[in-house]
Structure 1
């Protein structure tokens, strides 16, 4: 009997991991990939599966590698920029290879919905000379995940499964099977010539990797996710990959009454040379459609030089397909219509663009009662607006309009960028802000670097006891594992002191005066200072049943707007005075910053 479930794309990937019989799954949370582990974690004990939130993506991949080297199947899950963090083991792993199937699951983010760039992870697969699978929908995401483990073991190489935001967060009816419950017995087999990446060992292992390239091509040539549909009378063709292939297929059906267009759908990288060459010989003009980088287009150009040098190739290089952002059915439909000299259609999003021109902007904001807002307010009061404020990746960057976030580059960069600014000769005060999970991810080396090189900066660790931005996942500072088991909770104070910081103070941002005074002492300290601003995430507090009485504006309000400019969504300006709405969580910070005692707790 066929079983079907209505699944999120990431849930389909999680299902594929279960059905493939993986033993270890490790990840660091990052949108759009977070749900894979969130779905697997509650099932870990039932299926004898080790699921963990690792401290960062490098650690996650190395945990998965260790499992694979015992002969067990394993997966490392991360967002695209996480692969940058894991790149060191990722590249050398292609040399050493694997025993148990190892799948690196990466979700790219076209249009930067929740990321600082929109890099294309297929480039990493090219760089490492390993196979890459590019699912177009949740069904393929599940099927390709299972196949990726099989292919990994067949080739003894890691396999990259590259999803995108649209695939990871789409929902579809997915045909599923039963989770695999029988596994081999784990055993690490000592083999220094393979597992110890010394130069003398790496050179022959590189040769082994290069010799496997023909086997990779042969395996993917037979893949069911590469499909060729030739139209006998057509000189026009479309080659597409990933979710773009669904858009292209839909557009070709819409235009079939007016034009015969051959179609080649690609789901694997490297693409199948046999199908590509057959397709290229059949048409005189081809459009290559893919999101982000022209990876497929470059491959088509190379094949065309051999099999049809006169073919006209359209795509990103010709300007027909944008190289940045997310594609959609209208972009793809109009690009194909343009190639076929057919009328274009106006996308309905035009009306949204017109509406955006007249609607007031609504930038993302910190939650009502968020301790980060109070921390940044106190930081600004203590350091002044002329100070320099390097910041980091996390929900606290939503406070960018408060004037206390001047830089944000990548995970853990705030402290080291602050060091560079100081060492360049900049004399203004520098206060870096970094979240608790981000500090554990890649902030520790930065703080050690600052201590070692005597940087006079202040580091504010914003500890809200969760990885809030990606869905409130636990981290080593929370005392809870991914599976909900209690574990040791690390102390940020102890970590900072162990790394050599002498000035370390902890403060509750809900106490505004104390927080301002703490930041002033940190500012004036002649050396590196660390301020740990500790207040649990207000969302988690409410989930735990912690409720406070709300506040209200009384008759003392003069309309000075001091509280409104604080930026809390619970505070509005109604005519001549402020008003506190039902979003109030009772943090009481606004009452402390009001110069007229016009805000008080509801009695």
Structure 2
């Protein structure tokens, strides 16, 4: 879908939408006045739509420097009377967890949506975190949609709960809900309006000092107790009966879709309790379902979140319903749910033989795009380490496209933990061993959380060579802008924050800039920097291959002169560009459809025989 179409479609019409696009439309239909995010898959499309919306309904949008800042900024807008929203992926909620937990105590002004997208099976993430745990940790209400239509429609309930109880509401999706595409019936876009809220008048509530927080905690628990029995939001939950069976499934989110698929394909009679409000568990409808069913299977991805709560509630009720799920190994703990997994859970209940549902291994590993500047950087830096006699140097990496440097043939990454950790982890290794450590971090990640790590490394006297791979964008999540670039926000021009200036402000004296595409320059720069001591920063610059693709499509194309080619295989085995391929009988060629035209492979450092030439 062209994202701007999300905004053009009129009230009453239907449009195919991703779940994330539907959430953005829901925000616009419900008078959202302020949005902030740091992009992270699988939540990124919401920000992409809201950025294009501009002031469509009088709302403000920003790409914040990280999720904590995004949360606090949206919270401030809420206190000032604007319906606000903040969106992030699951690990982003870790970054924003400090203000999130405290703001649930203090409450908000106008309604506040806290959208988080989990990533079961870790398609684009370093862990399989279950963000539902944050709802328990913070005592926060939580709503989970299952379809793109619900993604849009449930936004209304999130705002209403938020404003009725003066509390931020966690709006949780997962990859399959965020990236599912289905027809969505649209409503009218509502203009944002600011409520007349005087921040000074609520200062006793919004200042979380201990004397206030003690009172606020009791108020919060009272709110959650009321919400669990609030029939006003009962339409978020429903019982579906398929036949006269006394066997049921309790589920939510994406797992609801897998459960109904399994029931229909097996042709069996079962009942389903679909929960849209998953914290607190709605008591009346849950008690009814446990009374109507003798055996209940809890179907949910990741942790036994619902199962633990419903088992406890069953015991309090004194219900005789038998509950199965993850805790008794009727359902698996890890990875995405699918209909076959649900079928096996049902087969166990019915005493039937189970089938193999093992997770298939990926067909191939991810790779840098043709023309990616990171390929040249890793190739050259690895050669420099070898020539300097330091091939065993510890290399710490970070979150972004450049994390693909971990794979062969580059092998440039011994650790990767979280955003900004390359510098912090490298600093710790350096201080513990005294050796010079090499770290890689991207420009967007550096602004996100590398600045504080760099300041700490300088202050602690670490011995590090840090490469900041500047490709002019937040590439992996959709080419969102970074703070380094000039920007126009609400019609006002803002000058970007220079990367070199930020680095020097952290106390780094030795800052060098080199082109990712100039392998000789980068080689000499790296060799020199390896001999220095203390914290040295090398900025490698090369624009992301996905930026200005139409313009780059007009670049020169390259071919291999088979008469000059010695079949040394350096271009395939060590440089490893996917456009350079090998025919079954050993001839190496360049796929013109894949070739980006960057010309890096024709460099003498890649092809010493000068066999890679411009197509005439």
TM-score grouping bracket, smaller chain normalisation: over 0.9
Question: Where do 5+ consecutive residues of structure 1 fail to align?
Answer: none
Distance (whole Å) between structure 1 residues aligned to residue 352 and residue 364 of structure 2:
38
Structure 2 residue 563 is matched with structure 1 residue 561: no
Taking a change above 3 Å as real, the CA distance of residues 81 and 303 of structure 1, as seen in their structure-2 partners, is same
Indicate the residue corresponding to 2:496 in structure 1.
Answer: 489
Gaps of 5+ in 2: 1-10
1:103-114 to structure 2, matched below 5 A, reads: 103-114=113-124
Asked whether 1:404 is paired with 2:420, we answer no
Relative to structure 1, the CA distance from residue 368 to residue 222 in structure 2 (aligned partners, 3 Å threshold; closer, same or farther) is closer
What CA distance in whole angstroms lies between the structure 2 residues aligned with 1:551 and 1:230?
Answer: 63
| Matched-pair contact (CA < 8 Å) for 1:220–1:268 | no
Evaluate the alpha carbon distance shift between residue 211 and residue 315 of structure 1 in structure 2; reply closer, same or farther with a 3 A threshold: same
Which residue pairs with 1:600 in the alignment?
Answer: 613
Cα shift at 1:343: 6.0
1:202 paired with 2:213, answer: yes
Q: What is the correspondence of 1:209-288 to structure 2 with a 5 Å cutoff? A: 209-219=220-230, 222-229=233-240, 234-255=245-266, 258=268, 260-269=269-278, 270-288=280-298
Counterpart mapping for 1:375-524 below 5 A: 375-384=377-386, 385-401=391-407, 402-425=410-433, 427=435, 429-480=436-487, 486-524=493-531
The within-5 A match list for 1:74-93 is 74-93=84-103
Q: C-alpha deviations, 1:231-257, integer Å up to 9, x for none? A: 89533221111121222233334445x
Aligned-partner SS, 1:126:
helix
Using the TM superposition, give the Cα deviation of residue 545 of structure 1 relative to its aligned residue in structure 2, in angstroms: 5.0
- Does the C-alpha gap of structure 1 residues 235 and 598 become closer, same or farther in structure 2, counting only changes over 3 Å? same
Deviations 1:144-180 (A, max 9, x none): 1111011100000000100111011111111221011
- Cα deviation for residue 378 of structure 1 reads 1.7
* Alignment counterpart, residue 571 of structure 1, candidates 557, 577, 580: 580
CA distance in 1, matches of 2:395, 2:196: 49
Deviations 1:126-148 (A, max 9, x none): 11111100111111111111110
Compared with structure 1, are the counterparts of its residues 218 and 519 closer, same or farther at alpha carbon in structure 2 (3 Å cutoff)? same
**Contact kept? 1:281, 1:307, Cα under 8 Å:** no
Q: Deviations over 1:404-437 (max 9, x none)?
A: 111111111100010111112153x411000110
- 8 Å Cα contact 1:236-1:340 kept in structure 2: no
What TM-score do you get using the length of structure 2 for normalisation? Answer: 0.91
CA positional deviation for 1:403: 1.3
Indicate whether 1:129 and 2:139 are aligned.
yes
Provide the rounded CA distance (Å) in 2 between the counterparts of 1:562 and 1:182. Answer: 58
Give the Cα separation in 1 of the matches to 2:480 and 2:492. 13
Q: Work out the CA distance in 2 between the residues paired with 1:482 and 1:564.
A: 44
User: Cα distance 1:517–1:31, how it changes in 2: closer, same or farther (>3 A)?
Assistant: same
2:464–2:533 Cα contact (<8 Å) kept = no
Task: Give secondary structure in 2 for the equivalent of 1:597.
Answer: coil
Deviates further, 379-388 or 183-192? 183-192
Q: Does 1:172 align with 2:182?
A: yes
Cα gap change, 1:497 to 1:308, in 2 (>3 Å): same
User: For this pair of structures, how many residues does the alignment match?
Assistant: 592
Give the SS at the match of 2:113. strand
